[in-house]
Structures are given as C-alpha cells and as structure tokens.
Amino acid sequence: LPLPFSSKSRDFSLPNSSWNSEMKRLYEHYNSQCEVESEDGEKQKGLWRRLPSYNRSLKYATGGVYLSKLIQSKARLFTRNIKEQGGAAFEYVLFNNEEEQRCVGIFQAGHLLEGPPGNVHGGAIATIIDTVTGTHATLLSGTVMTANLNINYRSPIPLGGTVHIESSLDRKEGRKTFLSCRVTSTDGSKLHTEATGDF
Ligand SMILES: CCCCCCCC/C=C\CCCCCCCC(=O)SCCNC(=O)CCNC(=O)[C@H](O)C(C)(C)COP(=O)(O)OP(=O)(O)OC[C@H]1O[C@@H](n2cnc3c(N)ncnc32)[C@H](O)[C@@H]1OP(=O)(O)O
C-alpha cells in the first residue's frame, strides 16, 4: 500500500458508536465484498477494498518545502480533526473498486456541518467530494492535486443524514485525470450533488 494508507495510527474509517443504521448498513454492504470465500472455503480478495483513513498526512510530506516542527506536530487532516466525540462532523469511509475504476464514499454529516438550517453546508459537501475524488485520483494516477472542481448542488443534504458518494474515471489525458462524482441518497433514488474534477 502507498504510505498514507499504511500507517499504524488510529483508523478513522472503522465503525464507531456514532454511526447511524444507514451508515452501518452501507459499510457492511461494501465491507462484505472486500473478501469473498471460494467454493473450497479459501478467503480471497473481493472486488472492493476498504481504504483506511488517518488524521494526519503531513509526516509523509516530502520535497523541499520547509515545515516547522510545530506545524509538523500540530497539522491534522481537515476532515478528521474534530476533537468532540464521534459523529460531530465528517464521518466517512471510502471503498475502492480497482477493476471498475470506481471509488465509493459513505458519508454521515454531523451537526457541526450545518449550512442552511437543518441542511449540510455547501463547503462541507465540496470538501467530502474533494476527498473522495482526490483519493480516487491518487489511487488511479499517483501524486496529484485538485486543479478544478465543478459542483452542481441539486437537492439539499439533511444534517445528520447519510449519503452515498460515487467517483468514476472519465478519462486520463497525459498527466491529467478527469473524474465524475455523484452524491445520492443511500437507496440511490435522490440525486443531491453532481460534480466533475480535474486532477
Ligand atoms: C488530490 C490529493 C490526494 C492526496 C491523497 C493522500 C492520501 C489520502 C490522505 C488523505 C485523503 C485526503 C484527500 C484530500 C484531497 C484534497 C485535494 C486537494 O484539495 S488539493 C488542494 C487544492 N488544490 C490546489 O491547491 C492546487 C493549486 N494549483 C496548482 O498547484 C497548479 O495549478 C496545478 C498543480 C493544478 C497545475 O499546475 P502545473 O504547473 O503542474 O501545470 P499547468 O501547466 O498549469 O497545467 C497542466 C495542465 O492542467 C490544466 N489545468 C491547470 N489548472 C487547471 C484548472 N484549474 N482547470 C482545468 N485545467 C487546468 C492546464 O491547462 C494544463 O493542461 P494542458 O497540459 O495544457 O492540456
């Protein structure tokens, strides 16, 4: 596994007591497809892989940028830095399907992410889309940055609710990777957000 995915620190993408039933159900849906049992009872790699998630990536930063010891020790990943008890902000887990070049995020939006009354802030939605597509682009193409993220907000996401996020590869052009992303209700019937990203 690439370095950011292989740390020994706490893995934030495992179920915790703040997860609602939809979050747990979808987690189980994908997690049960990460390992399959063959006819002779052997365990085999499945279609999906759960991606672990840690609260810091800076200690892995390389290159010539000067990072003070203070920043190095205090830096935390934006989506994993809320000290309050679990469930207050971003609860999410990502699963990758390498064969189909699809990456799925299951996202439960906590009470600290309010924008319009009772609904999730558009910036928080952009953040989780950037996280899913950015991670997907990294898995597909190695080290990348988000160059462009285009978002259409179609229907509000209720605060406290769980949504299904799916990123898929549109095309690669030289060193550019183009992805599409859809945020829907967990049963897929309601479209919340559509986005495209260039990395
Ligand atoms: C994605 C990272 C994932 C990491 C995963 C780690 C493991 C998991 C751990 C934790 C998961 C968390 C995951 C979080 C994910 C968050 C990701 C972010 O939010 S990244 C921060 C926001 N992005 C910036 O700050 C970029 C700022 N911009 C730049 O640095 C440059 O502009 C850059 C690198 C994007 C391009 O600069 P140039 O100098 O390399 O290249 P030039 O020549 O300008 O462009 C190359 C080609 O791209 C097009 N291009 C450039 N900018 C574009 C734009 N805005 N829109 C469309 N095309 C653009 C150009 O037209 C050119 O195309 P032609 O080759 O000519 O065909």
Check if the interface score ipTM surpasses 0.95.
Answer: no
**CATH topology assigned to domain 24-52+85-198:** Thiol Ester Dehydrase; Chain A (3.10.129)
pTM of the full structure: 0.92
Q: Is 145 in the pocket of ligand 1 (CB under 6 A)?
A: yes
Which residue's CA lies nearest to atom 13 of ligand 1? 131
Catalytic residue among 11, 40, 130, 170: 130
Listed by start position, the domains of the chain span 24-52+85-198, 54-83
Q: Is 3 helix (H, G, I), strand (E, B) or coil?
A: helix
Q: Is 96 in the pocket of ligand 1 (CB under 6 A)?
A: no
User: Position 9: which residue type?
Assistant: S
Q: Quick one: which atom of ligand 1 is closest to the CA of 137?
A: 1
Q: Is 135 in the pocket of ligand 1 (CB under 6 A)?
A: yes
Confidence of residue 178 (pLDDT cuts 50, 70, 90): very high
pLDDT digits (tens, 9 = 90+) for 77-106: 899 988 777 899 999 999 999 999 999 999
Looking at residue 116, its pLDDT comes to 98
Which stretch of 52-56, 68-72, 102-106, 114-118 has the lowest confidence by average pLDDT? Answer: 68-72
Catalytic residue list contains 130: yes
Confidence of residue 41 (pLDDT cuts 50, 70, 90): confident
